[in-house]
Structures are given as C-alpha cells and as structure tokens.
Structure 1
C-alpha cells in the first residue's frame, strides 16, 4: 500500500519592489459616487498593480481581486454585498519576471449607501501632526527620486492629508494626497524636475468630521541622483590602458624591424654586384 506524500507548495518569490501607498479613497470617509477611482502612489519598475477589496481587514472573503493600472474605477455596487457599509482595500506592485512588492496596509472607505453615524460625542484632538522627516536642517539634501515623509500620529485620526509645495510658491502644491492611518509615505520620482527647495505640511482626517489643523510648513531641499562620472578606460582599469597601448607599441616595433631588414637586404645586394664587377 503506497502512501502519497504531500506536494510542497510553490514558494512565492521574495518581495523586491517598494510597497505602494493607497491614496484614494481612504480614511474611512464616504465616497461621492458608486464607482470611485482607486489610486495609490506609483512604484518604480512596476508594470501593473494588483488590488483587492474586502469587507474586513483580514481579507478572509475577498470581493474584488484584479490586476490593473493606477487610477482604476471600481463599481462598488456590483462588487460588494448589499449589507457591507465599510470596505477595506489594499494594493501591491508587480513587475517583470514575477517581481512584486508586499501588500500595502489596508485602507478603508465608507460605501455611498452606508448610514454614517453622527460625529457628536466623538473624541477629537484639535492638534496638528508633528512632522518628523524631512527637516529644515536635512544634510545632505535628499535624493529627489525617493523622498520619505514621516510624522507623529494624532489620536482618533482615520487618515492624513499631505501637501508638498515649492518654497517660492507655497500656495501651489505639487503634491496633494490623502493616506489612511499610516504615518509615513515615500514619493518616488514625484519631485524630479520640480526644483530643489520645497515646504511640506500634514493634517489629520476624520471619518465624518472636518479635517484637523495643518502642521507648520517644514522647508527641505532635494538634489538629483548622483551619477558616476564618465571615466576614461585607463582610469577605470589600468590593464585596459595597457591593452590599448600594446597593439600600438607592437605595430611601431614591427615597422622598425621591417625597415631594418629591408635596408640590410639592399646593402647585401649592392655588395654582391660590387664583388662581381671587381672580379671581372
């Protein structure tokens, strides 16, 4: 009687891409349409994204699981059961040759048909988040291809709004996004080409109440990625310099030897003629 051994499950490749951060819809706030657009921060080298929507943070019963591009509209009415009032969703980045990121932290959204409770009696801290990074005395400047932002959490906040603006135009932010209860987000290739001096601020969001106060703007400086300077082959590898010089030296030596041999042959011929003449 033969016993069959369990077939080992194929291991997933390790996560090698950065984790995207959900930006809309988030913070448990109600959406204004039955087909909201789900979006997140872009990830370098990602060719697609996988999004899942469930009714709980455990994602035990996933109602939507699709591979898509950023900014995808999802009809919640045809995806979620009728009795679901708050949905949770997460996203991960995927690339070529099965590379991927880990799943993002779950983000929350109230479906349009949900009856929102009143904000009366809820605890709310009227204080802005404390910015932690980047700071005004950041040295050296941050690499503009990947700029991380972190701040202290505010009790009872269901999300946060982050703005980044040029230092000379604080009223015109180049970044204005919302995130869930996370207190950190990294912007990849977002500030490239936008300048070098910026100011950032953050404020808390609440599910049914108005947003909290903004933090004081924090100036910071970014710099382009440092590329290796193009170096001559001999600077990169002394052996390369020797190889380059070798054929030229060899050619020069061969030419000198050829001229010497030819001159010797001519002189020998003239000496032979002279002997014949004198002998005659």
Structure 2
C-alpha cells in the first residue's frame, strides 16, 4: 500500500469516528484528504502521512524549526518522531508564514464588475476585491492552486482574504457571499487544502474536501456538498461564528440550510441527478431543446451550460419547473450541459452532465422566396436564396407540412445553385435551407418559413358581341370561387393605374366598353376577407392583351354585320 493511500484510509477511519451522522459519513469518508485538510477555526488541520515527524512538519509549515515543541504540546504527542498516520494534527494559523496570494478572472460573460468597474477575462484580482454579477452575469475566478469559484447571475462576493502559505503555496482564502451564490472547486490537482472558507450572512462553510456550493437569498442560506467534506457553522446576529450546537460536518451528497440567528438545520440528502435525454450530435444552430426524466420530490431544476466538463466556466444558467429547457445563444465548439434537481429546503443536487458539439458554420443563406406567410399560386413552387461566400460548396433545402419538419414531404435536396423548384400539393407548407462546406458538412438550418400553395389564378378570356359592354369570363373554381374575384382593366401591362378595378362573385364580369385601342385584363381570386386589400399582386393571372374596336351601328344601336362579320367603324 502506498504512503498516500494508507494515509487516506487512516484519515477516513478518523473522520468516521468523529462524525455524528452515520449515513453522512458512509458517503463522505472516501473523499477525505491525507496531508493538508483545511482549517477548523484558527487552526490548520493536517492529516498525518506515513513518515511524517513533528520536526519535518514544523519545517514545512511554520516560521521556525523549534515550533515542533509547541505542536507537540498542543496536540499531546508523546513521540515527535513517531506519528500515527491519519492523526489530525493542529497547526495554529498564526504560526504559519504567509505571502500575498493571487486570483484572476478566467471566464466572464455578461455584466460582471470588480470594485464597480467592468471585469474582463484575464484581469488579476486583489485581496478585498468586491465582485458583482448582473442579471445576465457569470464569472469564474481561479486561484494560484487552480481552485475555481463560479458566481451565477445576481451575486455579490467580497474577497476577505487572498493569501498563500509561504513554504508550500497552499492557498488561504476567505470569501463573503452577500447575495446570490457561489460554487467552488477547491485544489483540483490533489495538493490538499490550506484554508478556503465561504461565508454567507448566516453561515460559514470551510472546506475539508474539493467541491461545494453556497447560496444566500430570501429563502435563507444554504450549503451543498458535491465532493469531500465541509465544516459548516452558523453565524449569530452579532456576526460571530456559533458555538457548540451551531456547527456540522457535511459530506458529499448532503446539504444544510441556516435560518435567522445562524441556526443550522440537520443535513439532508441532496436530490439525485436526473437522467438526460440525448442531444443531437452535432447541434446545428445556436439553440437546442433538452429533456430529462423527472426526479421524485423535485420542485424544479437548474440547467447550466459550460465550456468544461467540470462545469466551472459557465456560459448560461437557468431554472425551470418542468423536465425540459431550451439551450439558447450557444457558441460554436465543444460544450457541456448539466442538469440538477432542486429538492427539500431549495437544496440543489449534483448534475448529470452531457457533452455536445455546436456547429454554426457555414452560415445559413438568406432566404429570398417563398417569403414568410406568402401565397404561391400554382403547384410548381420556386425556391430561391442568397449566395454564401467563404468556401460554401452547395446547399440543401427541405420542405415539410409542419414547422418541426417531422412530416417532411421533400427530404433535404442538394443544389449547387441558389434556386430550385418543386411541385407541391395545395395547402400550408414550411421550408428551410442550409449551406454545405467544401467537405460536404452542413451548417445550421435557416429559420422555418411558412407559405401556402394556392390554386393557379383563373385565366380570363374576352367575349365581345360588339355591344356597349365587354364581357370577361374565366373558368369557375367551385368552392375556391366562393369569396369572389377581382378584375382589373388597364391600358398598360403593369396595371399602375387600372381603368377598372371591380369585384364580382361570379366567374364573369361586364365592363363598360372603352375607346378603341389595346388594353390588358387580369383576374384574381379574393381571399377569405374579400375586397381589394385581400389580393396580392402574385394572386393575379398574367396580363391578357386585348384589342377593343368600335363598330358601325344601326338605328337601334346594334352592330352592323356583313358576311365577313361585324363592320368596324372606318372600314
């Protein structure tokens, strides 16, 4: 057995004996550190390893060699050369030489300020710094031993102490969470813990392990242990740490809350992590839906998206009541999503974490036609989109009868051009398009654009009996004609200023006979609302060019006919 592993086992046995909650210890003992193990009050705690001596420990941590004598008396050690592995050795912090520590912001998103000034990633933080996050703010702070502190939105933390043991580099840090919360991952490299404490208005939590959270809000103060063991003490109304009965040792998988006056509730188990549904790989686009199985007794869930698997560099966080959430504003690259259940006393459990990849390039083309909520007249529908620069080799477009594209009538079709055509049935449709890079890999889809395929416009024909009116007819379309028709007559093909703009509920109309010349006529079916406002330009038939002539008339006003037909005036 190695020196390190035997020390861990011995420390675990000692922690088990010292703990008053058997179930708690059963979870926690496998995480106890050998060697540096945090602090209790004003003492640094060291768990003795095989081969340790008081003289060696005094040389390693204290300001003078003869400090071993004080350690011998304080810890009631009989033989300074024979220390039992796993023994908890107290070293007063006041006898440990210290130097200034360091911290820097390694990840910043949204509104984050340090001492009132905007905080940027890479900025060094000094002792006494005050860090605040806005409603969209997220920040991760890293100490010299790679310990990390992550602050969610609407939080405020005051750095009370930022130092390091001069001879070992172990950090000595104290932080005060005045509002919101904080999540700490302490000494991830396995070097052990010097002092790392986070205080809220009602409790102080000191690390014996590696990862935990604290929160301070209107519902009270809470501490949740994810790895290792922490010591939690209540803080009285006078701002002092409580005495006997106001402290607890809390192990991994448990949480504790404090009420007014610093009274601690008994530690309770944290809710288990939910089982997550699989995200598509890759996620094509900046949003993705996520679902999970319900956790018994959960009042809600916390969803965190991060850049790292340990979830110390947050990109977003949200709380939801149900078993689904939309991940939004996702950047390109490898990301991680973690979902935790919120249980009794608003304590949040460990997270189920899933890795996923987001792909945002090449970007989707700009869609040209059909436009959103437009009507296409005739079953041959043309699709068009803008060209995308930057190594795009081709495009794919898709058409479906629903906005989620579960009922895809036309599977993704590839085109090297920026337009295509398809024949579709009458009805409501959605379409979307995406770009393919030089390797044929797709980028995200464009938005889903709805459109409607309508029957083709009726084609008008002229019935001229030579009388005072022109009769325009077109084929009836059954139920489609119930809303009526719009008929226009103009002296130019663009119909900029129609001479006649008429409504009829039948498939023909009689128009006053204009003067001789060439004219244009077109017809459109009216929408359900009826009237001129219900008809778009696309609904009209192609302009039909007609010639209007004047005929000779007899005394009754009827056209004069000959063997060759009606006689034009002037013949």
TM-score, normalized by length of structure 2?
Answer: 0.18
TM-score (norm 1): 0.34
The structure with the larger Rg is 2
Larger proportion of helix: 1
